[in-house]
Amino acid sequence: MPLMQFHLIEGRSPEQLQQLLDTAHDAMVEAFGVPYRDRYQAVTQHKQGELILQDTGLGYERSNDVVLLSVVSRPRSQEQKLKLYQMMSDKLHEQCGLAKDDLMISLVENSDSDWSFGQGKAEFITGDL
């Protein structure tokens, strides 16, 4: 169920994009312990000048590979969130060569009644999930 929205600057090949999404999903599965087919990802590719990610003075150096990942999820413990950030950073670095300065994550929580996966049902409420 976590919904992952990726914002990138144009320039990756379809193969690079697919590897990015596959790897991010693996990190999600491991960090939040969701089922393997609990995969919901959308990518928006921006032109230069349409995606500005600075660093709040933290000293991070962003390149054109920078990734903004916006996640919507049911509530998660702080421990799970920290694990997600670390695994996402590590795996995207190892599998996709993404610099650790080039990943920013923002999370928003909602609740069980806020999801309908199909058929007009709220599966967390009906007991289907």
Task: Tell me the catalytic residues.
Answer: 2
# of chain residues touching a second copy (CB under 8 A)? 67
| Structure-block tokens of residue 20 | 């990015």
Q: At what angle do helices 14-32 and 78-96 cross, to 10 degrees?
A: 150
11-50 mask for a second copy (x: CB under 8 A)? ---x--xx--x------------xx-xxxxxxxxxx--xx
**How far is the C-alpha of 45 from the C-alpha of 93, rounded, in Å?**
20
DSSP 102: G
48-87 mask for a second copy (x: CB under 8 A)? -xxxxxxxxxx-x-------x-x-x-----x--xx--xxx
Closest CA to 1 of 40, 32, 41, 30: 40
Q: Rule CB under 8 A: which residues touch a second copy?
A: 1, 3, 7, 14, 17-18, 21, 34-35, 37-46, 49-58, 60, 68, 70, 72, 78, 81-82, 85-90, 100-110, 113-123, 125, 128-129
